[in-house]
Chain A
Amino acid sequence: MQYSSAVVTPRIMKETKLLLEKTPPGVRVTVSEENPRHFLFDIQGPPGSFYEAGIFKVEIFLPSDYPMSPPKALFRTKVFHPNIDKVGRICLDILKQDKWTPALLIEKVVLSIQWLLGAPNLDDPLDTSVADVFKASPEHAEKTAREWVQLYAK
């Protein structure tokens, strides 16, 4: 069986159904009307983090060879975070080919992204200038992150 972008596989159907019926807490999901492989998530910033009370839009797309290849995920909300860059790309291990395994689910990806918001990884930054702020002055980083939440993630 060859997966193609037009075909919705049983796996994607099942996953979509599961996501809609049992959406994890702090998450809202919308499936694109044009393309069933295209999802839009509203992810709530983890409580206690710099990003709490923010709602972040994250786009997820399932490539044609999903689940052999990982989903593609992109932030559509500006966020001041060392592992997320200006255009919304995310540095997360399970989104990379070598760490992704086909048994992982979209739900897991979304929860990992939410978790990443609460646990910035300064050892492996994507946006080094942001990481520098986080290292040099955590107070300043918190202030900027919270400001950005007010400005963009409401």
Chain B
Amino acid sequence: MIDATGGAFKLVEVVSSPFPTMLQNISSTDSWFGAGAASQNDDGWGDSPEGIPETKLMPQNSQGYVIKPISQIKDIVMIIVERLMQLTTLNEDKTIMMLRKYNWNEEKLKTVWFELEGEDAEIMLRQIGAKFDTKIDESFPFTKATRRDQNSGICAVCYNEFDDGEFAADSLECGHEFCREDWNQYLVAKVNEGFQGCMNAKCLQTECNLKVTHSMYKKHLKEEEFKHYERWFVKSYTDENKNARWCPFKGCEYCAIYQNSGIKDVNCLCGESYCFECGEELHKPASCENLKLWIAKNSSESDSLVWIEANTKKCPNKMCLKPIEKNQGCNHMTCKQCGHHFCWLCLGDWKDHGSATGGYYKCNIYEEAKKSDTRAEFLSLEEQMQRAREELNRFVFHYERFSNHQKSKKHAQDMIGRLNFAIEELRTKQNYTLPELQFLGDTLKVLIRARHGLKYTYVHAYYQKDAELRQISQYSQEMLEKFCEQIDEMLSHFLEVYQAQYIFSTSLTPFYQERDRIISFAKATKQYYENICGIMRM
């Protein structure tokens, strides 16, 4: 459990406090934020940071995941390896290779391993490079020259004589001997080659199927070099494993390790939240698929194309066809590109226009074309533009709201500093206790999370095809927006009023009244947020 008064956050052990790093600053000596909250449910709202006993490295908790810094992953991996070593009775190196073969999926490995019988297990081990394939001796007799019993006492790589020092002979299980110095140089070269080169390195002998083992790296690399190797080793666990994911936020070195399915939201110890499934920022209630589409839409040029389609016409000069936007003036257009004169409405040559066709601001040709069916093609162009405009408007509508909530969320986050200061003032000058003031931090957290969620309701809504469902969620959306505005205002107001201590120093009642009001609003907001997530999941 986090020490409520000590203030020393052991980040490693904290799970699921959405903004610990930010809120830590609220009070440097007092952890107001942990006090009295431990009994509440840990639901990702950050009101109860649960500690994990240091002794249990892989605890099962209600979250379904644990968060670990890069420095601890290695230990976790070794615990898994050890556990499986006992089951498979393979040595450490072979167990690691088997685990990698099955993408670190322990269950899969267990199932497969215990179904393998006799010879099949041997074949499997040979395939993954954990056991020497003696057929290689037959197919490539020259490789035998470096085998322990047949070599001439000279290293086939550097041609130095084997000795007991830097040229001491060493080999993998295959018995292809090379000197220590060369093993070191080879392994260093492999580590520098990168992840693939390092984790799939083979024996120095050509055609030998044996993979370089973990213990060989340990034995022949110097301390610094081995640390470099361990980076790739850890990467093998985190990147080849579906149950691990690095925090996607910049500069964060925490990794989430999944333990049971269901929950997709990860509250990283760096203070950010993300979706375990797709690795993007937390995007509830929008689905991963919709988010992907949304991101593609926002970053692609296709939307500028939609805009161009909706707002421009192509110069009718067949040799030019530049898109032209008309932002003011009459229908007489002169293309800047090619100098062609044309009518904006009917796109005909301006030569055919004049007072007879209605002058500069009216085009009879266009009016007639609109009436007659003969210019169907012309009309369909109009319709196309209209549709594109509507689509664009719809996108802009959702996008504007999406980015507005982004801004509001930022605004709420900016309030943390002020809140921090106010709490300290209220505590020291007016003697309110920290548990009494805790609602301020909690409410702000609710506000931030709700703003964040609102942002993504617009992604969801943009892709919602069902009109009825869209209407239902629109209603909840509106309510949530209202509540957010409310508590935003209440908090700002509260900070303004109560920071000036002299106003209410004589009577305490209004403080508690206001406090209760804010708490109930925060509760309602949280409820609406959860409702909206429920509705939108339909």
Interface, chain A (partner B; CB < 8 A)? 1, 9-11, 13-15, 65, 67-69, 94, 97-98, 101-104, 108
Whether, in the assembled complex, B202 has its beta carbon less than 8 Å from a beta carbon of chain A, the answer is yes
Inside 8 A of B197's CB, which chain A residues have their CB? 97-98
Inside 8 A of B158's CB, which chain A residues have their CB? 1, 9-11, 67
Whether, in the assembled complex, B473 has its beta carbon less than 8 Å from a beta carbon of chain A, the answer is no
Q: Which one, A1, A9, A69, A108, contacts B189 given CB within 8 A?
A: A69
Provide a sorted-by-A list of 14 A–B residue pairs whose CB atoms are within 8 angstroms. Answer: A9-B159, A10-B159, A11-B159, A14-B159, A67-B157, A67-B158, A68-B185, A68-B186, A97-B197, A101-B203, A101-B206, A102-B182, A102-B186, A104-B206
Answer whether A11 and B157 are a contact pair too, CB < 8 Å, given A1-B181, A102-B182. Answer: yes
Whose C-beta in chain B lies nearest to the C-beta of A100?
A: B206
Q: Which one, B160, B189, B196, B206, contacts A65 given CB within 8 A?
A: B189
Inside 8 A of B203's CB, which chain A residues have their CB? 101
Chain A to chain B: the 6 pairs with minimum beta-carbon distance, closest first: A14-B159, A10-B159, A11-B159, A68-B189, A102-B157, A101-B206
| Number of residue pairs A-B, CB distance < 8 angstroms | 50
Q: How far is the CB of B130 from chain A (nearest CB, A)?
A: 18
Place the interface of chain B in its size category: 20 to 34
Q: Which one, B181, B185, B193, B205, contacts A101 given CB within 8 A?
A: B205
Whether, in the assembled complex, B487 has its beta carbon less than 8 Å from a beta carbon of chain A, the answer is no
Give the complex CA separation of A9 and B181 in angstroms.
13
Mark B441-478 against chain A: 1 for CB-CB distance below 8 A, else 0: 00000000000000000000000000000000000000
Inside 8 A of A67's CB, which chain B residues have their CB? 157-158
Q: How far is the CB of A4 from chain B (nearest CB, A)?
A: 13
Q: How far is the CB of A81 from chain B (nearest CB, A)?
A: 24
Answer whether A103 and B159 are a contact pair too, CB < 8 Å, given A1-B181, A69-B189. Answer: no
Q: Is the CB of B159 within 8 A of A101?
A: no
Inside 8 A of A98's CB, which chain B residues have their CB? 193, 196-197
Whether, in the assembled complex, B156 has its beta carbon less than 8 Å from a beta carbon of chain A, the answer is yes
| Interface set, chain B 145-164, CB cutoff 8 A to A | 146, 156-160
Q: Is the CB of A13 within 8 A of B159?
A: yes
Give the complex CA separation of A14 and B154 in angstroms.
11
Whose C-beta in chain B lies nearest to the C-beta of A13?
A: B159
Q: How far is the CB of B311 from chain A (nearest CB, A)?
A: 44
Whether, in the assembled complex, B347 has its beta carbon less than 8 Å from a beta carbon of chain A, the answer is no
Q: Is the CB of A103 within 8 A of B189?
A: no
Q: Is the CB of B160 within 8 A of A103?
A: no
Give the complex CA separation of A46 and B300 in angstroms.
55
- For A11, A65, A103, the residue with the greatest tally of chain B CB atoms inside 10 Å of its CB is A103
Give the complex CA separation of A10 and B208 in angstroms.
24
Q: How far is the CB of B202 from chain A (nearest CB, A)?
A: 7
Whose C-beta in chain B lies nearest to the C-beta of A11?
A: B159
Mark B155-187 against chain A: 1 for CB-CB distance below 8 A, else 0: 011111000001000000000101001100110
Inside 8 A of A102's CB, which chain B residues have their CB? 157, 178, 182, 186, 204
Give the complex CA separation of A116 and B159 in angstroms.
28
Mark B120-164 against chain A: 1 for CB-CB distance below 8 A, else 0: 000000000000000000000001001000000000111110000
Inside 8 A of A9's CB, which chain B residues have their CB? 158-159
Give the complex CA separation of A94 and B178 in angstroms.
20
Mark B296-319 against chain A: 1 for CB-CB distance below 8 A, else 0: 000000000000000000000000
- For A10, A97, A98, A102, the residue with the greatest tally of chain B CB atoms inside 10 Å of its CB is A102
Q: How far is the CB of B345 from chain A (nearest CB, A)?
A: 53
Whose C-beta in chain B lies nearest to the C-beta of A105?
A: B156
Q: Is the CB of A97 within 8 A of B193?
A: yes
Inside 8 A of B193's CB, which chain A residues have their CB? 97-98
Whose C-beta in chain A lies nearest to the C-beta of B202?
A: A101
Q: How far is the CB of A102 from chain B (nearest CB, A)?
A: 5
Give the complex CA separation of A67 and B205 in angstroms.
12
Whose C-beta in chain B lies nearest to the C-beta of A3?
A: B185
Inside 8 A of A15's CB, which chain B residues have their CB? 159
Mark B190-213 against chain A: 1 for CB-CB distance below 8 A, else 0: 000100110000111110100000
